[in-house]
Structure 1
């Protein structure tokens, strides 16, 4: 990434508008009575595999989707503004890898309650985007991108509390948050390490 290549265009928000629009469309279908069963990630259950693809689109109630809408829009827009070439790769891989890892992670709540967990909501994706944006700026050592990282840390630093089970309310998927952070970090290191290598060549 080079500061000279950063150009902000109106098209940079199209992906975010589309993503948020789909999330709200699906929520409308939920409100009409569709998706009454769990379509989210259910760890270690065959029927929970579909949640790898669907869980970020589903929300439990109006407050849930409202709280996720603005950060999802802002962070996804920043991704497309500052990391155009990587944006779709990060969004798609981050979405799928986070879902797969969440499905593979043991269902700790089941061990305590005997009830399977159903993970839904875009917050895991939000954590992945925030993590990717924060660490990418640091790895690339670009002044503007480092500033973006600092802004992300200031605005969304409180998200860090969401990865600790003792600091979140019952029913909140701290596992999805934690995995999102790890996946965002992994993608930022992998993709930007490759970018540095290409730049040196």
Structure 2
């Protein structure tokens, strides 16, 4: 497993794959638990949070909803459908480090919201599926960007197992499915892979 190296070129103390795996399970698991807690509150409030904090495309106050819409879901079934892929993809991304995970998650979150705000339908959009598509696309392309053979192998395995979900980025006749959120998340994941590749390639500054 390739790890992000410390400035000295070696992983820092305790920065092992096992340690990252434990932290990844804790961070990703805590995020998923947060989503379920929010959904329970939302259910108790008859999903009124969706009307207040769901993303309303092309509305001025809807810009702030970009920060909240992935935390909400239409119902418990909707959240459950996102849970397993979010845990799997989030965990695999976290194995490359907290900075990588935050970058991929933030890019997926923001670009997904921006795309929905610009070209989304007339209904309010909620759900973490944009994050799922973003983390998935990040895992698919980063190996080719980084020219890392083990990441390319992982990309192939993931594509064979979950590649069919990419049909979700195509316009659909089902009005309750936000293909715009899926597309934006996928674009965000690719952007994150490119950004992180650029940072890895920069030489370290040397003081005199």
TM-score (norm 1): 0.85
Whether the 8 Å CA contact 2:119–2:180 is kept in 1: the answer is: no
Structure with higher Rg: it is: 2
Structure 1 stretches of 5 or more lacking a match?
A: 110-115
Deviations 1:84-118 (Å, cap 9, x if unpaired)? 44222222233223223321x234x4xxxxxx221
Q: Is the 8 A contact 2:109 2:188 kept in 1?
A: no
CA drift of 1:61 comes to 1.3
Moved beyond 6 Å, runs of 4+: none
Q: Structure 1 residues 190 and 151, CA, compared in 2 at 3 Å: closer, same or farther?
A: same
Whole-Å Cα distance in 2 between the matches of residues 86 and 57 of structure 1?
A: 21
CA contact (8 A) 1:20 1:69 kept: yes
1:30-41 correspondence to structure 2 within 5 Å: 30-33=42-45, 34-35=48-49, 37-41=51-55
CA contact under 8 A between 1:131 and 1:181: conserved in structure 2? Answer: yes
Shift of 1:197: 3.3
Across the aligned residues of Structure 1 and Structure 2, the Cα RMSD in angstroms comes to: 2.3
CA distance in 1, matches of 2:50, 2:155: 39
TM-score by length of 2: 0.82
Paired residues in the alignment total 191
Higher helix share: 1
1:79 counterpart = 2:93: yes
